[in-house]
Chains A and B, each alone.
Chain A
Amino acid sequence: METQAVDGVKLFIPETYDIFWSAVVLVVVAVFFYKFFLPKFQAIFDERAAKIEGGIAKAEKAQADADAAKKKYEDQLNTARVDAAKIRDDARTEASHIIADARVKAEADAAQITANAQKSIESQQQQALVSLKGEVGALATALAGKILGSKLQDADVQTSMLDSMIEDIDKDSAGKAK
């Protein structure tokens, strides 16, 4: 290969001007990328990420709000339900109270009525007894007067005689009942 125009080793031997221009290019490119290009795009990326995150946060907030509203509504529903149940229970107990009271009162009335009836029966009995006693006495006196004549005109004698007679009758009936 002696005929080759240049020596291949020269490929690897740097020329001064080559080094100079390469260094210039490298520095310029590096400064461009470090100071302008990448910060700019990083800012864009960050802004975009922030925006997306903001959007997500907003959506999350809306979701949370909706959840809260739903929870509130459900709570209200629950309390209402509980209230209704309570009111129902109250009404039920009250109704049973009323029924019980009414029953007690009715029983008391019934007892009262019974007692009154008993009482009036007893007093009528007493009355009947008293009037019977008077009538029977008068009858007996009249009878006895007719029998004894006018011996017994004096009222006092009449009365004492009647009393002793009734006592005897009573004793008799008591003795018979025994």
Chain B
Amino acid sequence: MAGVAELMGTTGVALAAEFHVPQIDEFLPPEIIFAGTPFAMNRIVMVRLIATAVMLLVFGITAARAKLIPGRWQGAVEWLIEFVQNNIVYEVMGELRGKRYVPMITTLFLTIMVFNLCGIIPFANMSANATFVMPLLFAVWTFVQYWRAAIREKGLLAYLKEELLPEGVPIPVYIILAPMQLIDIVLIRPASLAIRLFANMVAGHLIVALCFAATQFFLIESHNMMAGFGVLTLAGGFIMTLFEAFVAALQAFIFATLSCVYINLSYPEEA
């Protein structure tokens, strides 16, 4: 990577230029197929498409072979589906109004989790959510859904009034509150959903890559007393990889839960 030597030089330790520090331009890889056209693909898009294909294949076969008495794998998949349905959708929205959103939230949860897990799968090593557009599209879906729910359940004006001018607040406060709320429902909610997911993927990848790059550097390229650090960073890399697996599921859960919460806010108070 360009600029690595200068970056490392500033730390005061005279490290060799071979220390491959992961950079954010790993998330902006060059186009490799159909370059220049609107259908160009870079590495991350490739990972995304392959992940999609594998996911559809695996889940498709599972669903096609689904039996009344589940096997081990089918049991696991069913557990996931029921977890999304009961612990995310029904927990937040209740069974009555949650029913129509179960497919959407299940799609979000499973897709985001599988895409996130690509970050720790060897040879992919890059989350399929690691360009900003994919999380953004998921967030836009949620955005569209909660506005649709608001317009259908309350009407646009009633919804805006309730959100921008909530009752029980002194009138002068509205001057600050209304714009803030407007920004919240229009921008912050979808943006925070998308950026949270994206940032977690970027940071996770950088940390894992950094650990293994340091291991590579300490153990192989600088053969001296620094080898001890290499063992340390290798262990760190393993731990961080496991942590990434956890974060992959956690972020999927948070995304799905927050989507439910936002959609639920568009409905009137508990009926």
Contact = CB atoms under 8 A, between A and B. Distances in A.
Direct chain A–B contact by Cβ atoms under 8 Å: yes
Contacts of B38: 16-17, 20
A3 B2 contact: yes
B137 A22 contact: yes
Contacts of A13: 132
Contacts of B45: 17-18, 21
Interface of B: 1-3, 6-7, 23-25, 27-28, 31, 34, 37-42, 45, 48-49, 52, 55-56, 59-60, 63-64, 66-68, 77-78, 81, 102-104, 106-107, 110-111, 131-134, 136-138, 141, 198, 202
A95 interface: no
A40 B63 contact: yes
A73 interface: no
Interface of A: 3-6, 8, 10-23, 25-26, 28-30, 32-34, 36-38, 40-41, 44-45, 47-48, 51
A94 to B, nearest CB: 69
Contact of A36 (B1, B7, B63, B137): B63
B132 A11 contact: yes
A25 B52 CA distance: 7
Contact of B68 (A10, A37, A47): A47
Contacts, number: 118
B24 A8 contact: yes
Contact of B111 (A29, A40, A45): A29
B126 to A, nearest CB: 14
B136 A14 contact: yes
B63 A11 contact: no
Contact of B110 (A19, A33, A44): A33
A44 B7 contact: no
A5 B3 contact: yes
Given A17-B38, A25-B52, A41-B78, A12 B132 contact: yes
Given A14-B132, A33-B103, A33-B107, A5 B56 contact: no
